[in-house]
Structure 1
Amino acid sequence: MAKTILITGASSGIGRATAVYFAERGWNVAATMREPVKADSVLQHPQISILALDVTNADSIAQAIAATLTRYKKIDVLLNNAGYGLFGPIEAIDGQQIQQQFATNLFGLIGVTQQILPVMRGSGEGLILNVSSIIGRMALPYASSYIATKFAVEGLSESMRYELEPFNIRVKMIEPGSINTEFGKGSKQMAVSDPYRASMAKFLAVFTKSNAAGAKPEEVAKVIYRAANDSSNRLRYLAKPGPFFWMNRFLPDAVWRQLLVKAMVK
């Protein structure tokens, strides 16, 4: 019997590529997004069901899970992928922007997970895959709100895996580096303040160049597929993390900070 994965944020980028990759390998895929009418034609596949799901709306989450169960009877894997980036100096970002960032990237992930866990406990098994980022383990300038959500996802995932182990529900994280996808091109909000304008322009130039050389969504989809089929209790799966990640991991903090400031700030 084919396994079933429910994917949030499947309209573009990593979510869309993952939906196609799993479907082509015989999985049943519930590809969810806020506006199914805008679904890419690549998602028109016999193994894929396109469903409406807004991670910030509890009723929408419940309806998408119910529709998936009606069609496929079981949900083996949840891929919490929905999210976007909010960039800018913290001084320039208003409270509403920060609240919406957390509502989507963190509270939405929690909301979907909370509603799917009873389903998995009833099945006696399950896997939660949370899309984090290398910046869930390291910080960059001008992305403080976005990075805060990813740090939170890391801590949440580590804690949940202990809680869920008795129910045979595993938790894993996917940590991509730079991504050559719509996220870097348009799936973000920007706040700019005059005192930071020149410095942020330097950061954005490095960020844009890094994204252009980053992993394609299909490469990340392969890592997600490997994680979904890995029966071990491994927690983290890197997806083309890039040189900044490794410098952060192995250089002394003072050296790392000096290099980062020179590259991205001053």
Structure 2
Amino acid sequence: MTKTVLITGCSSGFGETTAHLFADRGWNVVATMRDVTAGERLAARANVAVVRLDVQDRPSIADAVAASLARFGRIDALVNNAGFGLSGVFEETPRAKVVEQFEVNVFGLMDVTRAVLPIFREQRSGTIVNVTSGAGVFGLPLISLYTASKFAVEGFSESLSYELAGLGIHVRLVEPGGVTSTRFGERSGAEASKTNAIPDYAPFLTGAAKVFDGLRASRGRATSEEVAEVIYAATTDESDRLRWVATDDIRPLVSARREQGEEAYMALMRGQFTPELG
């Protein structure tokens, strides 16, 4: 029987690339997005259904799941990919934007997961892949809210995996970082431009900009295609593995967080990410 995957956030980036990869490998694909006019290339494929789903609109989630079953008869995997990142100083960010960050990256992901779980329970099978970030493993300045949302998804996913293991349902975490071939940075930059600057942070921002410019210059050329391959591998893997690091550029920091003691890890991070002021 041909398997079916439902993927959120397929208008561009990881979602779009992952949808094409699954379709190339014989899966039925429900490619969801807020604006279905962005899915023309995907809609042209015989084994792809482009369906509207806005993770902030719960009726659209229920409708998308119903449309998936009507088209393909079952759902075997869910890839929670939809999300965006706020960047900037926390104090400068309006509370409404903080709420939106969590509504999309955390509560929306949970609502989509809740919608498919009855299907997976009835089947006694299914795989949930939650796309997080290196920023869900280690904290970084200027993206504290994005980091907080991804930390939340990491904890939720691990906890959920214990609840579902006895029902034949797998949970995976895919952790990418440093991919520049997507439109993710465009929205992050646009969101940052809406904040109200506080002059006291100006010296820190100047120093931090130099640090991050240096990191970007030394970063590997990770692509959305590489991330899509890891998402596919995590979805089709039959082991109990929970976490999958998707890009090499974040491996040193992931290893530092997970393998070094707290004192050594914090010394490394403060030395690398706290700009010298003066």
Q: Using structure 2 for the length normalisation, give the TM-score.
A: 0.88
| Helix, strand or coil at the partner of 2:86 | strand
Counterparts of residues 98-117 of structure 1 (less than 5 Å): 98-117=98-117
5+ residue gaps in structure 2?
none
| Helix, strand or coil at the partner of 1:2 | coil
Corresponding residue pairs, total:
265
Q: 1: CA distance between counterparts of 2:255 and 2:65?
A: 38
Identity of aligned residues (%): 40
Q: Shift of the alpha carbon at 1:207?
A: 4.2
Determine whether 1:217 maps to 2:224: yes
Q: Output one character per residue of 1:219-248: Cα deviation in whole Å (capped at 9) or x when no partner.
A: 000001111110001000001141443444
Q: Shift of the alpha carbon at 1:57?
A: 1.2
Question: Which 10-residue stretch deviates more, 40-49 or 136-145?
Answer: 40-49
Is the Cα contact below 8 Å between 2:13 and 2:182 reproduced in 1?
A: yes
Is the Cα contact below 8 Å between 2:4 and 2:75 reproduced in 1?
A: yes
Q: Shift of the alpha carbon at 1:19?
A: 0.3
Q: 1:206 to 1:216 in 2, by over 3 A?
A: farther
Question: Which 10-residue stretch deviates more, 241-250 or 150-159?
Answer: 241-250
Is the Cα contact below 8 Å between 1:53 and 1:64 reproduced in 2?
A: yes
Q: 2: CA distance between counterparts of 1:139 and 1:13?
A: 23
Instruction: Provide the residue aligned with 1:127 in structure 2.
Output: 127
Q: 2: CA distance between counterparts of 1:20 and 1:113?
A: 22
Determine whether 1:261 maps to 2:273: yes
Q: Which amino acid aligns with 2:254?
A: F
Q: Which amino acid aligns with 1:238?
A: V
| Helix, strand or coil at the partner of 2:171 | strand
Which one of the candidate residues 174, 194, 200 is aligned to 2:199?
A: 194
Is the Cα contact below 8 Å between 1:214 and 1:240 reproduced in 2?
A: no
| Helix, strand or coil at the partner of 1:85 | coil
Q: 1:183 to 1:140 in 2, by over 3 A?
A: farther
Q: 1:206 to 1:213 in 2, by over 3 A?
A: farther
Instruction: Provide the residue aligned with 1:203 in structure 2.
Output: 208
Q: Shift of the alpha carbon at 1:12?
A: 0.6
Q: Which amino acid aligns with 2:222?
A: A
Instruction: Provide the residue aligned with 1:238 in structure 2.
Output: 245
Question: Which 10-residue stretch deviates more, 131-140 or 195-204?
Answer: 195-204
| Helix, strand or coil at the partner of 1:174 | strand
Determine whether 1:175 maps to 2:182: no
Q: Shift of the alpha carbon at 1:104?
A: 0.2
Q: Which amino acid aligns with 1:215?
A: A
The runs of at least 4 aligned residues of structure 1 exceeding 4 Å deviation read 204-209, 247-251
Q: 2: CA distance between counterparts of 1:244 and 1:113?
A: 29
Q: Which amino acid aligns with 1:227?
A: A
Q: 1:19 to 1:202 in 2, by over 3 A?
A: farther
Q: Shift of the alpha carbon at 1:184?
A: 4.5
Is the Cα contact below 8 Å between 2:14 and 2:182 reproduced in 1?
A: no
Is the Cα contact below 8 Å between 1:90 and 1:142 reproduced in 2?
A: yes
Q: 1:69 to 1:32 in 2, by over 3 A?
A: same
5+ residue gaps in structure 1?
none
| Helix, strand or coil at the partner of 1:127 | strand
Q: Give the alignment's Cα RMSD to 1 decimal.
A: 2.0
